[in-house]
Amino acid sequence: MATFEPALFARINKPDSALLKTYQADGGYSRLKEFLSMAPGDVTNIVKDSGLRGRGGAGFPTGLKWTFLPKDHPGPIYLAINADESEPGTFNNRYLMELDPHQLIEGIILACHAIRSQKAYLYLRYEYGTSYRVLDAAIRECRAAGILGNNILGTGVCCDIVLHRGAGAYICGEETGLIESLEGKRAWPRIKPPFPAIEGLFRKPTIVNNVETLCCVTQILYRGTEWFKSIGVPPDPNNPRDPGSYGPKLYCVSGHVNRPCCVELPLGVTARELIEEHAGGVWKGRRAKAVVPGGISMGFLSASELDTRLDFAGPGRVGCLGLGTAAVVVVDDQTSMVDVLYNCCRFMSHESCGQCTPCREGTAWMTKILERIRTGQGRTEDLDLLMEVAGSMGIIPGTTICGLSDGAAWPVKNAISKFRSEFEDYIRSRKASVTSAQQLMAVH
């Protein structure tokens, strides 16, 4: 794969890459008219044939999702773009929105055409102020140029984008939470069924897609499905349910590395390659102890699992939840896993929406237990308790409405099963040091 040419990131290093004229100079929107004159079903079929899987975290086949819309619905049908990029360690959508917004807008127009939607809602996380300004300017440029609005480029297709700025919550990135939030409500994920494709935003059929997914749609239409399928990992022949991991992917590398970066690579690159070749290796000459494969809710790879291929199936083979957002966070060997896990749990308990009992109470309880362990009050049986709590929450056992609590449980399950001896040592030594400090205090 030495010859890999970035596609999604092809333009990001060019000057004024966010402007319409430079995008058009690079060939953008040049074939939009042609694509919009195709039947919507043909666009869907191209995306379906490409094997594109959602880049937001779950990896659901995008074209298949589009076909779930009710046939012959009188409309309106909505497209919601999930730009609430809030998984810790993830920042690829931000690059795409700030540096190449027109690639995204073209993808939105194409997706809207495919699903017969005339309105797209772009749900942007509040913290992305620059993205907001860039996208807002780009949308205005497009409207002025007749690329958005009624009768796009004379094709008769109508599409407009509503830029919506969220108010800052992790749960707004869950697709039904996002829909609730767009409707002006508390972002409590909805019970499914009905799925958004049947009844979503404003009770109308809605497709929710990630920013990177829609950028891929643009590239697939321009470069073709063959190009897309030439990149990445084909399906596992031994697993008939594996649709494969095709296409380029934006990997974010952060944490204890020399050069945190966001880099476009074919799906299936290994964690080691990412760290060594693209992020300049672990910092201060240390070694990696654990690596988060795709945002903290996916769990941890241990040092021995660094050769895991980061495609949609790879992390699952070593006990992680999945590829997630492909945000790799590196933890060096001088960092305590107890502290890392505490940080994960604190985040998740802060962000739990509080709707389902197991997640609301479980995430907070796990945080409290880890807090206690960190103050030297831990007991080794706490680890079993943590595992039990983590095992009882999430959509995988069926005890919650959305996947947030699976994401809260996975780091706990992975950290304790893969680093149990470290946790036990920590509990024993911390207890001893706190006890001796207390004895000293008592003497004086």
Partner 1 sequence: MATVTINGKDVEIGSNERLNCIQAASKAGVEIPAYCWHPALSVVASCRMCLVEVGDKKPDGTVAMQPKLVPGCQTPVKDGTVIIADSQKVRDARKATLEYLLLNHPLDCPTCDQAGECYLQDYSFNYGRGYSRLNEPKNIKPDKDYIGDQITLFTDRCIMCTRCVRFTREVSGSAELQVVSRGSHEEIDIFPGHPVNNPLAGNVVDLCPVGALCSKDFLYQQRVWWLKSTNSVCQGCSTGCSVTVDQNEDKVYRLKPRVNELAQGHFMCDEGRFGWKYTHSEERLTVPQIRSNGHTTSQAWEDVLASVRSSLQKAATGRQKLAAVLSPWMTVEEAWLLAVCIRSLSPQAVLAVGPVRVTGADEHFPKDLRGHVIEPVKFTIRAEKCPNRAGVQAVVAHFMDELMPFEELLRLASSGQFSAVYLTGGDPQGWISEMQAEAFSDVETVIVQDFLPSPVLQHATHILPSGTFVEREGIVVNHRGLAQLIRRAVRGPDGSRPDSRILWELSGRSGLFQPEALRAEIAAAVPALAALTNPALKTTGVLLETAQQTTV
Residues at the contact surface with partner 1, assessed by CB under 8 A: 169, 186, 188, 191, 349-358, 360-365, 368-369, 371-372, 377, 385, 392, 395-401
Question: Which strands sit side by side in the sheet containing 327-332, from one edge to the other?
Answer: 261-266, 248-255, 327-332, 288-292, 301-302
**Pair of tokens at residue 229:** 């399928």
For residue 93 the two structure tokens come to 């959508």
| Paired tokens of 326 | 């492909």
Work out how close the CB of 168 gets to partner 1 at its nearest, in angstroms, rounded to a whole number.
11
Q: Considering the complex, state which of residue 303 and residue 364 has its C-beta at the smaller distance from partner 1.
A: 364
Angstrom distance (rounded) from CA 326 to CA 250: 7
Q: In angstroms, what is the minimal distance from the CB of 62 to partner 1?
A: 25
Alpha-carbon gap, residue 189 to 402, rounded angstroms: 6
- Which two three-digit tokens encode residue 102? 């027109």
Shortest CB 23 distance to partner 1, Å: 39
Is 345 buried (19+), middle (13-18) or exposed (0-12) by CB count in 10 A?
A: buried
Q: Nearest approach, Cβ of 392 to partner 1 (angstroms)?
A: 4
Specify the residue, 332 or 371, whose C-beta has the smaller distance to partner 1: 371
Task: Map tokens 């056992």 to a residue.
Answer: 397
Q: How far is the CB of 409 from partner 1 (least distance, A)?
A: 12
Which of 297/349 has CB closer to partner 1?
A: 349
Nearest CB to partner 1, comparing residues 126 and 227: 126
- Whichever of 227 and 365 has its CB closer to partner 1, that residue is 365
Beta carbon nearer to partner 1, 136 or 361: 361
CB of 60 to partner 1, least distance (A): 18
Beta partners for residue 292, in sequence order = 329
For partner 1, which is the closer residue by CB, 101 or 173?
Answer: 173
What is the smallest separation between the CB atom of 110 and partner 1, expressed in angstroms?
35
Q: Any idea which residue has 């990001």 for tokens? A: 12
